[in-house]
Amino acid sequence: MSHPPVTPSPLLPAGTPPQAKAGAEPTLVLVGNANVGKSVLFNALTGMNQTIGNWPGKTVELANGTFLFQGRHLRVVDLPGIYSLSTYSQEELVAREFLATGLGDVVIDVLDSTVLERNLYLALQLRELETPAVLALNLTDIAAKQGLDIDTELIAAEMGVPVVKTTAAAGKGLELLVETALAHAGKQPAPAPRYGREVEEAVARVQGLLATATLPATVTGMPPRFVALKLLERDPEMERLLAGFPEVVAEAQSIAAELEAVHGHEAAGIIAAERYAVAGRIAAAAVHRSSTGRASGAERLDSLLLHRVLGWTALVLVMFAMFALIFQVGGWAAGLLDGAFAALEEAFYGLGLSQVWANFLWQGLIQGVLAGISVALPYLVPFYVILSVLENSGYLARMAFLTDTIMHRLGLHGKAFIPIFLGYGCSVPAVLGTRIMERDRDRLIAGILATLVPCSARTVVILGLVGAFVGFWPAVSLYLLDLLIVFLAGRLLNRHLPGENVGLIMEMPRLRNPGLRLSLKQTWFRLKDFAAFAFPIIVAGSFLLFVLEWLGWLQPIAAFLAPFTQTVLGLPPVTVIVLVFGVLRKELALIMLAALLGTTEFGLVLSAQQMYVFALIVLLYVPCISTIAVFRREFGTRMAVLVSAGEVALALALGATVNWVWRLAGMIVG
Amino acid sequence: MRDEQREICREDREECLEALYRMETQGRTASLADLMAEPDLSQRPVADTLTDLALERKIRLENEIVSLTPQGRHTGQRVFERHELAERLLRSLGLREASAHEEACRAEHLEDEGAVRAACCRLGRLGAMLDEGVIRLCDADNGEYRVVLLSAGRFQRRRLEDMGVGPGAVVRVERRHRHGPITVEAHGARLALGRGVAAKILVAPVTQCASHPAPSA
């Protein structure tokens, strides 16, 4: 994977010059582990003045907002939840690029007070960057409930930065937090805590080395100690930045090797252990347990949710409830919208525009938008709300834990279960849902598998054609065949995509009340984002199809492909047109097929074999245009094209195979 | 640390055990280099497979000599007999073994002396650790353990270290699903680890009499 050179401008929200320092709009940067209440804090600060988007060129969510504080306009950037400033995941890479290049005026590191030791690990890494920072000890209400008494002054003295206690969910401590942050914005903080003697000696030697070279501007902006630590850790990103100085990198590596010879472990592991040692020392000194809390209700619920039998029962129930909710609500809303749009169409054609113009406007432009609205939105809204609730409540992690063994057989880990399961409903949320995984490789595999799973629109075709006119078991066989394909594709992708299969390494966050308001708010901003990137593609696609039809090119194309369609696939030539339009909306395929064949009694005009092959092709060939749009957004244009083309090829090849096997079997039997 | 990024599969283990069994019946002792020279194993990550087998108590490592445990001998014998049968069937069908190709592999594999020595050294260290009661985290019962070594790939190693499961860290196993993931507590935080991940974390039990005070439960 190649990274663009570090240019500060694209990382900052639009409209803010990168040099904007104190004086203009001060920028606060929120950093922290996942599940520490960072988004709650962000939402409490910004209210509705926020946007959720993507980091340029990355599939990492970027939230930024503004708010008015004591008459000053402030800007807040919410970095993704991370555990470290290594650069092994997109989130970490984005966060580090942002922090190391000195964007933003002050960093607010949000910590979970109940897991202080582990949270201080990231805080120590932030201190290595020597940027102005404030530590927000969040979730203090829960810490108090657990009988934890935390000495903030001691932590402030040890870490060299101010510490403020907050309870973001109740809005407590936020004013003091922002005041403290503003007071320290742009000011050089106290030196960072030091690590063990051997590590510091190695760091000093590498720093000396760095002082002798004229380094590129991308590196001189960072503190030398940070650069030295990263070189000792053999951090690939830092080595890439210093690719022009092979002798510096080599010398740093030999210093690291000396350190490794003493300890018998890698330097990165030694430094990580040093940080944990400091974190452990500070936490042990600052946290006093006044009473030992008994097993709380949440803990008892957790034992149930992770139980081998009861946990699975609960999981199946939750999945079905989720599915039912998304598709009941979605189906109902889609029906309402379709009705409304039909009325709108009638009204539109009643306006008295000339036929050509009316057709052009309606079929070429408006229909595409409406198709996008009635396919995506009814299913996306409940999906976003539910996903957000699952995520914020901590149940998502439990699901991943339980399904890990199954997903492992596909070369993925537990978190991939959710997008693939969602694929049975709609591929669009399924592809978007791959974001819950950390690694690009896992995301891509899960994304491809999710598009291969029959969504509800394809289910309509399978049931309406094969189920109704061929039989129940042939329809079931299509699902089983699809499962086999998903399984084989998973194995194949896992074997041939470069990269390591990392397996499940995941924090199990505390179970808690998800807060429906936060979920609804996140849904609203994510929907806005979806509309902005998906609709242009949907409209362009439907316009293109309209032009093709208008020019009268569809019949010639069908006629041209007829030899292939008839001999190889054994299908009537008009099905090509159906398949082309099916890209827009797959459930339309059946309606169009009926229109072109002149009957809905498919059994009279198509043989069982033809219906089976047609349904199989619809099941596998390129997902609908909305899915392609989200796929492009998550995995890039190249991948979207490759996967779409690959799936068309797979569908045609399998269709042809089934057709010929069927035909041969017919010959042998008959 | 591993040489190969690829996962050790069942075939790797079986081929390895079979080779050891065959050599044992021939009365030969086996070192790592001997095993690497075996034609059946020439394309396989022998050192890593042996690491896994040693952790599963299928083999013993003593002074660079690899020997089968009763458990490992049982598997080796089974695989050996299965192969014998398959070979006899194939031969009766008139097929001949492609031996020239295997000969070529053998020559190619033995060239890298340095890599063999490094692997020997690693296995030797592992043998010493096993004598001291080191086990894989996925085999550990509920309780406290100290991480000794991460036998994982680079990304996984870094991730585990960042999450506080690096060498030297104390983890408490809380919940185990048979053939599935586990949950552990490390530095006060609760983590879920897939079984494959836990199999690559080598730990030693923290004894009750150790000076390290047990954190409050």
Say yes or no to pLDDT of A391 above 50: yes
Answer with the residue of higher pLDDT: A368 or A285: A285
Q: Which residues of A597-622 are buried (b: 16+ CB within 10 A; e: fewer)?
A: beeeebeeebeebbbbbbbbbbbbbb
Instruction: Write down the pLDDT at residue A151.
Output: 94
The CATH fold assigned to A197-289 is Helix Hairpins (1.10.287)
* DSSP string covering B14-75: HHHHHHHHHHHHTT--EEHHHHHHSGGGTTS-HHHHHHHHHHTTSEEEETTEEEE-HHHHHH
For A131-165, write each residue's pLDDT tens digit.
999 999 999 988 988 888 999 999 999 999 999 99
Contact in structure between A651 and A617 (CB atoms under 8 Å): yes
> How many Cβ atoms sit within 10 Å of the Cβ of residue A349?
13
Contact in structure between A634 and A431 (CB atoms under 8 Å): yes
> How many Cβ atoms sit within 10 Å of the Cβ of residue A669?
6
User: What does the alpha-carbon distance between residue A54 and residue A431 come to, in Å, rounded to a whole number?
Assistant: 15
Q: Where are the domains of chain B?
A: 10-131, 135-205
3 state DSSP class of A506: strand
Residue whose tokens read 């904007």: A20
Instruction: Write down the pLDDT at residue B91.
Output: 60
DSSP A22: B
> CB B159 to CB A502 under 8 A?
yes
User: What does the alpha-carbon distance between residue A178 and residue A64 come to, in Å, rounded to a whole number?
Assistant: 16
> CB B190 to CB A503 under 8 A?
no
Which of B160, B180, B187 lies closest to A117 in CB terms?
Answer: B187
Distance from CA of A289 to the nearest CA of B (A): 9
Confidence band, pLDDT 50/70/90 cuts, at residue A445: very high
Closest chain A residue to the Cα of B165, Cα to Cα: A273
Say yes or no to pLDDT of A428 above 50: yes
Instruction: Write down the pLDDT at residue A604.
Output: 85
> CB A276 to CB B166 under 8 A?
yes
Close Cβ partners of B127 (under 8 Å, ≥ 6 residues apart): B54, B60, B61, B62, B63
Contact in structure between A617 and A465 (CB atoms under 8 Å): no
Which of A269, A404, A500 lies closest to B167 in CB terms?
Answer: A269
Partner residues linked to A61 by β-bridges:
A54
Which of B153, B166, B216 lies closest to A269 in CB terms?
Answer: B166
Is the CB of B163 inside 8 Å of chain A's CB atoms? yes
> How many Cβ atoms sit within 10 Å of the Cβ of residue A355?
8
Instruction: Write down the pLDDT at residue A9.
Output: 36
The tokens for A238 are 């830092």
Is the CB of B161 inside 8 Å of chain A's CB atoms? yes
Question: H helices of chain B, where?
Answer: 10-25, 32-37, 46-55, 70-92, 99-109, 113-131, 154-162, 195-198
Residue from A409, A508, A510 whose CB has the most chain B CBs within 10 Å, to mutate = A508
Is the CB of B159 inside 8 Å of chain A's CB atoms? yes
User: What does the alpha-carbon distance between residue A308 and residue A304 come to, in Å, rounded to a whole number?
Assistant: 9
Type and span of the H or E element at B204: strand B201-205
Which of B1, B160, B175 lies closest to A505 in CB terms?
Answer: B160
Contact in structure between A494 and A24 (CB atoms under 8 Å): no
The tokens for B61 are 């490592």
CB < 8 Å to B150, chain A:
269
CB < 8 Å to A88, chain B:
155, 158-159
Type and span of the H or E element at A61: strand A61-69
Close Cβ partners of B104 (under 8 Å, ≥ 6 residues apart): none
Distance from CA of B185 to the nearest CA of A (A): 10
CB < 8 Å to B166, chain A:
265, 269, 272-273, 276
For B4-22, write each residue's pLDDT tens digit.
445 667 778 888 888 888 8
Question: H helices of A213-308, where?
Answer: 217-220, 224-232, 236-241, 246-263, 267-286, 297-305
Say yes or no to pLDDT of A115 above 80: yes
Average pLDDT over residues A365-381: 74
Mean pLDDT (chain A) is 85
Contact in structure between B56 and B4 (CB atoms under 8 Å): no
DSSP A244: T
Residue whose tokens read 């998800």: A514
Instruction: Write down the pLDDT at residue B113.
Output: 57
CB < 8 Å to B194, chain A:
404, 408, 413-414, 503-505
> CB A502 to CB B175 under 8 A?
no
Percentage above 70 pLDDT, chain A = 94
Is the CB of B215 inside 8 Å of chain A's CB atoms? no
Determine what percent of chain A falls in helix, strand and coil, rounding each to the nearest 5.
Answer: 65, 10, 25
Distance from CA of A265 to the nearest CA of B (A): 8
> CB A404 to CB B192 under 8 A?
yes
Question: Phi and psi at residue A528, in whole multiples of 5°?
Answer: -60, -45
Residue from A139, A312, A401 whose CB has the most chain B CBs within 10 Å, to mutate = A401
Partner residues linked to A68 by β-bridges:
A73
Say yes or no to pLDDT of A188 above 80: yes
State the angle between helix axes of A516-550 and A625-669 in degrees (0 to 180), rounded to the nearest 10.
60
Q: Give the β-pairing of A72-78 and A61-69.
A: antiparallel
3 state DSSP class of B190: strand
Residue whose tokens read 């390129």: A622
Distance from CA of B33 to the nearest CA of A (A): 24
Confidence band, pLDDT 50/70/90 cuts, at residue A57: low
Confidence band, pLDDT 50/70/90 cuts, at residue A375: low
For A642-655, write each residue's pLDDT tens digit.
999 999 999 999 99
User: What does the alpha-carbon distance between residue B30 and residue A152 come to, in Å, rounded to a whole number?
Assistant: 61
The CATH number of B135-205, from 2.30.30.90, 1.20.1260.10, 1.10.3720.10, 3.40.350.10, is 2.30.30.90
Which of A269, A397, A500 lies closest to B161 in CB terms?
Answer: A269
> CB B216 to CB A506 under 8 A?
no
Q: In what order do the strands lie in the sheet with A50-54?
A: A50-54, A61-69, A72-78, A27-32, A106-112, A133-138, A163-165
Partner residues linked to A75 by β-bridges:
A27, A66
3 state DSSP class of B10: helix
Say yes or no to pLDDT of A480 above 50: yes
For A302-341, write each residue's pLDDT tens digit.
888 988 889 999 999 988 888 788 778 877 888 888 888 8
Which of A84, A289, A414 lies closest to B162 in CB terms?
Answer: A84
Closest chain A residue to the Cα of B178, Cα to Cα: A308
> CB A505 to CB B194 under 8 A?
yes
Average pLDDT over residues A612-621: 92
Say yes or no to pLDDT of A193 above 80: yes
Q: Does domain B10-131 have CATH number 1.10.10.10?
A: yes
> CB A117 to CB B189 under 8 A?
yes
Answer with the residue of higher pLDDT: B113 or A19: B113
Contact in structure between B83 and B18 (CB atoms under 8 Å): yes
Which one, of A560, A340, A273, A387, lies nearest residue B162 by Cα? A273
Partner residues linked to A133 by β-bridges:
A107
User: What does the alpha-carbon distance between residue A326 and residue A321 come to, in Å, rounded to a whole number?
Assistant: 8
> CB A273 to CB B153 under 8 A?
no
The tokens for B11 are 């075939």
In CATH, the number for domain A9-184 is 3.40.50.300
For B31-73, write each residue's pLDDT tens digit.
887 888 777 777 777 887 888 888 888 888 887 788 888 988 8
Instruction: Write down the pLDDT at residue B109.
Output: 40
Confidence band, pLDDT 50/70/90 cuts, at residue A503: confident
Type and span of the H or E element at B191: strand B189-193
> CB A504 to CB B193 under 8 A?
yes
Q: Where are the domains of chain A?
A: 9-184, 197-289, 545-669
Answer with the residue of higher pLDDT: A250 or A218: A250
Q: Which residues of A116-144 are buried (b: 16+ CB within 10 A; e: fewer)?
A: bbbbbbbbbbbbbbbbbbbbbbbbbbbbb
Which one, of A548, A500, A66, A16, lies nearest residue B196 by Cα? A500
Contact in structure between B6 and A501 (CB atoms under 8 Å): no
> CB A504 to CB B156 under 8 A?
no
Count residue pairs from A and B with Cβ separation < 8 A. 123
Q: Name which of A262-266, B61-65, B115-119 the model is least confident about.
A: B115-119
Q: Name which of A314-318, A397-401, A405-409 the model is least confident about.
A: A405-409
Contacts 24+ apart (CB under 8 A), B118-124: B119/B3, B119/B32, B119/B46, B119/B47, B120/B31, B120/B32, B120/B33, B120/B64, B122/B1, B122/B47, B122/B51, B123/B32, B123/B47, B123/B50, B123/B51, B123/B54, B123/B61, B123/B64, B123/B66, B124/B61, B124/B63, B124/B64
Say yes or no to pLDDT of A286 above 90: yes
Distance from CA of A115 to the nearest CA of B (A): 6
Instruction: Write down the pLDDT at residue A229.
Output: 94
CB < 8 Å to B186, chain A:
118
Partner residues linked to B189 by β-bridges:
B186
ipTM above 0.90, yes or no: no
Q: In what order do the strands lie in the sheet with B170-176?
A: A505-507, B189-193, B182-186, B170-176, B143-150, B201-205, B135-136
Closest chain B residue to the Cα of A124, Cα to Cα: B162
Answering whether pTM is above 0.80, one says: no
Residue whose tokens read 């039809």: A549
Answer with the residue of higher pLDDT: A208 or A187: A208
Which of A272, A306, A505 lies closest to B191 in CB terms?
Answer: A505
Instruction: Write down the pLDDT at residue A94.
Output: 87
Question: Phi and psi at residue B205, in whole multiples of 5°?
Answer: -60, 140
Mark out chain A residues that contact chain B at CB-CB < 8 A.
83-84, 86, 88, 114-118, 121, 265-266, 268-269, 272-273, 276, 279-280, 283, 289, 292, 306, 308, 397, 400-401, 404-405, 408, 413-414, 500-508
Half-sphere exposure of residue A605: CA atoms within 13 angstroms, side-chain side: 16
Instruction: Write down the pLDDT at residue B107.
Output: 38
B55, amino acid identity: L
Closest chain A residue to the Cα of B189, Cα to Cα: A115
**If DSSP states are collapsed to H, E and C, what string results for A123-181?**
HHHHHHCCCCEEEEEECHHHHHHCCEEECHHHHHHHHCCCEEECEHHHCECHHHHHHHH
Confidence band, pLDDT 50/70/90 cuts, at residue A187: confident
Distance from CA of A375 to the nearest CA of B (A): 37
Which of B153, B161, B180 lies closest to A500 in CB terms?
Answer: B153
Residue whose tokens read 């650790």: B129
Average pLDDT over residues A429-456: 86
Burial classification of residue B114, based on how many CB atoms lie within 10 Å of its CB (0-12 exposed, 13-18 middle, 19 or more buried): exposed
For B153-169, write each residue's pLDDT tens digit.
788 888 899 999 998 89
> CB B195 to CB A408 under 8 A?
yes
Distance from CA of B163 to the nearest CA of A (A): 7
